[in-house]
Structures are given as C-alpha cells and as structure tokens.
Amino acid sequence: MSVATSGVAIGLGCDRGTPLTTVLQALYDALAQAGLSRTQVRVLASIEAKSNELAFLELAKVGGWPLRFFRAAELAVVPVPNPSETVLRYMGTPSVSEAAALLAAGAQADQLLVEKFKHQGVDGKNATISIARMTHD
C-alpha cells in the first residue's frame, strides 16, 4: 500500500495550554511536509498526562478523529530516532509525539513519515507533530 493511499497516525506533543490554532498549524505544516492530506489521518495520539489538553480534545473533535492516550511507561519502551532528555525529565519518557504515533500506528521507527516536527506559534507555545504510516487501515 502506498503512502498516498494509506492512513497515518499523528503523534502529538505540546506545551501546556497551547492553543488549537498553534496545534492545527503544526499539523497542517507536518502533513504538507510529507505530501499528505488530512483525509489520510486515522488517529491522534499522545501521553496520558495530556489527556485534558484542550487543544488536543478540540483537534479530535474538529477533525472527527479518535484520540488515544498512552502511559509514559508504554511510550518509554518505543525506539525512536529523536529521544529527548528534557522530555524524559518532565514526562517520564524520552519521546511523546514519535512514540505515540508509532504505538497508534502499530509501526516501527522506519514507518515514521515525519519525525518530531516542531512549531512555535505566535503565542510562543510549542507543538510537536510526528506522523507514522499505519500498518493496518
């Protein structure tokens, strides 16, 4: 199945309180970078600590996408290309967006289409998007 026809999982990370507009811009820029459209998005995913992040909840509602959350311990065992000591210190896992995308997609690191794409909004808040090809659609 080609990337053009397969679905993708979106891994999400952000600063606490990041507005939806910043997360949306990050998502659209990351999709564009990979030559993907929003119609290929099958699922959004992040860490349980972000389960009350308003922008993620709004994004799932606006896009009509399911939103999955993983425990830090689940994310921590996923091999990723861009682990972060800072993320490990604050979240208990070296990766949120890459690991969440891979877990939600049922994929390995070589299925990442976009690695840890960072975007800072005009508000100064940061959003991080990772995109993995789904192993099943």
Q: Looking at this protein, which amino acid is placed at residue 62?
A: V
Predicted TM-score of the model (pTM): 0.94
Provide DSSP, 83-117.
--HHHHHHHSSS-SHHHHHHHHHT--GGGEEEEEE
Residue 137 pLDDT exceeds 70 = no
List, in sequence order, every beta strand (DSSP E) within the chain: 8-14, 41-47, 67-70, 112-120, 126-133
C-alpha distance across the termini of the chain, in Å: 10
| CB-CB contact of 99 with 12 (8 Å) | no
Of the candidates 72, 69, 70, which has an alpha carbon nearest to the alpha carbon of residue 92? 72
- Model confidence over 78-133: pLDDT tens digits? 999 999 999 999 999 999 999 999 999 999 889 999 999 999 999 999 999 999 99
Element (H, E) at 18: none
